[in-house]
């Protein structure tokens, strides 16, 4: 099976070579030189807009009421290269294979930070779900693709079919801040609750801006029995 997968990948690379989206060097969608230009954070910051650096893992005293236990993000959303990568990942023409490079940013953040807990038994990965309509249109869920890569690299189980969307919501990027806070309310539900009972969840998405989507998902997961819910994203807007 591995040999067949290797042959398939080699054939694809031969007939459809990959080029770095930054410098156009052949080989990968993000070459190592361009990867190294991105400022990967070695510290953890709070959930709130103050985004203050924390001396311990979690959240600041102003965020204690929030359902999310904390947020891991690899970098800020200021880099034009990063914006290009995420845009190419999420919008047409979709480059689904960017999931590996984007997940590597998160893995690098984990490796650099001394405040990351040991992800062992009791932890699971879970992507923020898309509605059936939106996932069908795109052909994939970007959070799920990143989660798959993280699962492979940090050896944590991936739970896909427990958190789901109950209604279609507007894309957050199209809304003003007040509407962004209201848009995800009531948009999630949980099935197969036994999969998350007393678990610590790494809840994965691409970008964290207001945090409204993750906060609503965390609320629903905790009400269903999750012990802790931590956000994990590529970048914070």
DSSP-based three-state secondary structure for 40:
coil
Residue 35 pLDDT exceeds 90: yes
Q: With contact defined as beta carbons under 8 Å apart, do 146 and 99 qualify?
A: yes
pLDDT tier at 171, thresholds 50, 70, 90: confident
What pLDDT score does 13 carry? Answer: 54
**pLDDT of residue 14 exceeding 50:** no
Please state the domain extents for the chain: 38-236
What lies within 8 Å, CB to CB, of 146 at 6+ separation is 99, 102, 103, 106, 127, 204, 206, 234
pLDDT tens profile 90-137: 999 899 999 999 999 999 999 998 767 778 889 999 999 998 888 998
* pTM for this prediction: 0.89
Q: Give the model's confidence band at 169: pLDDT under 50 very low, under 70 low, under 90 confident, else very high.
A: confident
* CATH number of 38-236, picked from 3.30.1370, 1.10.10, 1.20.140, 3.40.50: 3.40.50
């Amino acid at each position: 099976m591995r040999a067949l997968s290797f042959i398939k990948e080699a054939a694809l690379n031969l007939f459809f070579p990959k080029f770095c989206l930054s410098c156009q060097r052949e080989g990968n969608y993000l070459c190592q030189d361009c990867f190294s230009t991105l400022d990967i954070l070695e510290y953890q910051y709070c959930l709130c807009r103050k985004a203050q650096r924390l001396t311990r893992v979690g959240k600041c005293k102003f965020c204690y009421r929030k359902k999310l236990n904390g947020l891991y993000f690899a970098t800020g959303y200021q880099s034009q290269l990063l914006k290009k990568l995420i845009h190419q990942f999420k919008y047409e023409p979709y480059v689904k294979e960017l999931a590996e490079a984007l997940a590597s940013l998160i893995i690098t953040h984990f490796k650099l930070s001394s405040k990351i807990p040991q992800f062992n038994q009791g932890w699971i990965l879970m992507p923020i779900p898309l509605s059936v309509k939106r996932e069908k249109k795109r052909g994939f869920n970007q959070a799920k693709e990143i989660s798959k890569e993280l699962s492979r690299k940090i050896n944590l189980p991936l739970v896909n079919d427990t958190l789901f969307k109950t209604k279609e919501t507007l894309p957050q990027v199209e809304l003003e801040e007040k509407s962004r806070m209201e848009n995800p309310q009531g948009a999630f539900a949980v099935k197969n609750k036994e999969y998350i009972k007393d678990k610590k969840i790494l809840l994965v998405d691409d970008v964290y801006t207001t945090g409204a989507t993750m906060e609503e998902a965390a609320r629903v997961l905790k009400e269903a029995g999750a012990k802790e819910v931590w956000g994990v994203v590529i970048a914070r807007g």
